[in-house]
Amino acid sequence: MRIEPYEDSQLDTIKSFSLRAWSPVFDSIQKAMDIEVYRSFYPDGWHVSQLNAVESVCTTADIKVWVAIDSDSTLGFVAVKLHSESSMGEIYMIAVDPDYQRQGIGAALVEFALNWMKAAGMSVAMVETGGDPGHAPARCTYEKLGFGLLPIARYFKKL
């Protein structure tokens, strides 16, 4: 496996596997959240907003994106945003094709991103993820790579 800069021709593949990768996550979020609040966040369904988010991340100039490639197949991606004013690099979005999860691809993408952030002069790395059961594999990966948790409580109420 190798990690390379993202190319526009990979967008459809990334969108496709991202939806499959995030399906259990959004199922978990829906169960954890008040259904009316959930519907307010995703009035057209989570698929629409996530497809738009992936496309936006992959086409935004100040976000760097890399892909994991094996045998000319795109298996995962990571997007990084730098916050130079605070010397912080942020893993902004990451997904691995479910057919290739639990093989170290996500960890390799995170490690690649961390090394790139450090070379870019950042002194802190941050990644945000959910506390629901669907995000448990992501939390496990981040903790194994040395990230420390900042407990935050975020509450929502439908108006």
Q: Is the pLDDT of residue 130 over 90?
A: no
Residue 69's identity, in one-letter code, is I
Question: Is residue 152 assigned to a domain?
Answer: no
Structurally, the chain folds into a number of domains equal to 1
Task: Note whether 37 and 157 are within 8 A (CB).
Answer: yes
Q: What CATH number has the domain bearing residue 10?
A: 3.40.630.30
Question: Is residue 153 assigned to a domain?
Answer: no
**How much is the mean pLDDT over the chain?**
94
Q: Which two tokens stand for residue 2?
A: 């190798």
Enter the pTM of the model: 0.90
Question: Is residue 52 assigned to a domain?
Answer: yes
H-helix segments, 1-151? 11-32, 35-41, 46-59, 105-119, 136-144
The confidence band for 143, taking pLDDT boundaries of 50, 70 and 90, is: very high
Nearest to 76 by CA among 113, 44, 37, 28: 113
Which domain range does residue 48 map to? Answer: 2-144
Question: Is residue 17 assigned to a domain?
Answer: yes
Question: Is residue 127 assigned to a domain?
Answer: yes
Q: Give tens-digit pLDDT for 20-63.
A: 999 999 999 999 999 999 999 999 999 999 999 999 999 999 99
Question: Is residue 150 assigned to a domain?
Answer: no
Question: Is residue 79 assigned to a domain?
Answer: yes
Question: Is residue 128 assigned to a domain?
Answer: yes
Give the sign of the dihedral formed by CA 80, CA 81, CA 85, CA 88: negative
